[in-house]
Amino acid sequence: MPPPIYGSQPSVRSERPRVTQTLLALNVLPFLYEMATDLSARRLGWLNYNLIAEGGLLARALRVQGSQLTVIGVDAGEYYRLVTSAFLHSGILHLGFNMFVIWYLGNIIELGLGRARFLTLFVVSMLGGSFGALLLTPPNVLTVGASGAAFGLMGASVIALRGASSSIWRTPVAGLLLVNVAFTLLSPLISLFPRISVGGHFGGLAAGLVMGTVIVGMQRYRLPSWLAVLTGCALSLLLIAGSLAAAAQ
C-alpha cells in the first residue's frame, strides 16, 4: 500500500483505519440484510416497502398502501435520507465498486489525516453527493449508494497530491478518477446503467475537492486539525440547507 497522501507519518491513534473499517461495515451489512430478507436489487423501486425504499434519497413521491396515499421524501421531512441513502446499494457490482474505492483511499487518507478529519471529509463528500443528486435527479426517483463519498475521496486525494507537489499521473488515483468520470458521463449516453447518478457523483467530487483544499491549506499554515473539522461541519450544514432547497423546488 502506498504511503499516506496527507502528512508524513501516520498518527499512533490511527495505525488501524477503524473509521474506514466501520464505514465499510455500515455499507455491507444493510446489503446483506436486503439479500437475507429477499429485498434485493430486482425489487428496487419506491413503491416497494423495503430498506431501499425507506432509506433511499428522493425529493418527494407518493407511497401507495392500499387506498392510502402518503407523501414521502426529503421535502416531506424525511431528512435522514440525505445520510441513509449513502449506505444502501442496488446490487453487488454497485456495492463492490464503492467499497473498493473507500477501502483503498480510506486506508491511505485516514492514516495521514487521523480519524476526525477523515470522517469529516467523508461526511462532507457524502452530503455533496446528496445535494448533487437532488439537483439533477427527478424528484420521485430513488438514488442510493456511497458513490458521492467515493468520488469525494478521489477528489481530495488529487488535491493532497498537488499540495505535496506530487504528480497525480504517477499514482493510481489519476487513473481511478479519470476512468470513473468518463464512466459517469458516458454510461447514460450508451444506456449501460441508466440509473447512474451523475449529480451524486459530481456533487461528491466537488465537495471532496473543496474539503481537500481546506485541509491542505490549513496544513500548509500549520493550523490546528480541529479547525478543519469545524470548517467541515459548516460545509455540511451548508450542503444540508442546499439539499433541502433543491428538494423543495
Phi-psi region of 40 (alpha: psi -120 to 50; beta: other; left: phi over 0): beta
- How far, in Å, CA of 247 to CA of 58, rounded? 8
Query: Would you state the pLDDT for residue 7?
Result: 55
* Cell output for 240: 444540508
178-234 pLDDT, tens per residue?
Answer: 888 888 888 767 655 557 889 999 999 999 999 999 999 999 999 999 999 999 999
Query: Would you state the pLDDT for residue 92?
Result: 87
* Cell output for 187: 454510461
86-125 pLDDT, tens per residue?
Answer: 999 888 888 999 999 999 999 999 999 999 999 999 999 9
Share of the chain above pLDDT 90, in %: 59
Query: Would you state the pLDDT for residue 69?
Result: 86
- How far, in Å, CA of 243 to CA of 236, rounded? 10
More confident position, 162 or 248: 248
pLDDT band at 173 (very low <50, low <70, confident <90, very high): confident
Mean predicted confidence (pLDDT) in 32-42: 63
- How far, in Å, CA of 239 to CA of 246, rounded? 10
- DSSP sequence for 131-177: HHHHHHS-TTS-B--SHHHHHHHHHHHHHHHHHTT--GGGSHHHHHH
**Contact predicate 125/146, CB 8 Å:** no
Rounded to two decimals, the pTM is 0.88
Query: Would you state the pLDDT for residue 167?
Result: 67
Nearest Cα neighbor of 131 from 62, 234, 26, 207 is 207
The CATH code of domain 25-248 reads 1.20.1540.10
**Contact predicate 138/194, CB 8 Å:** no
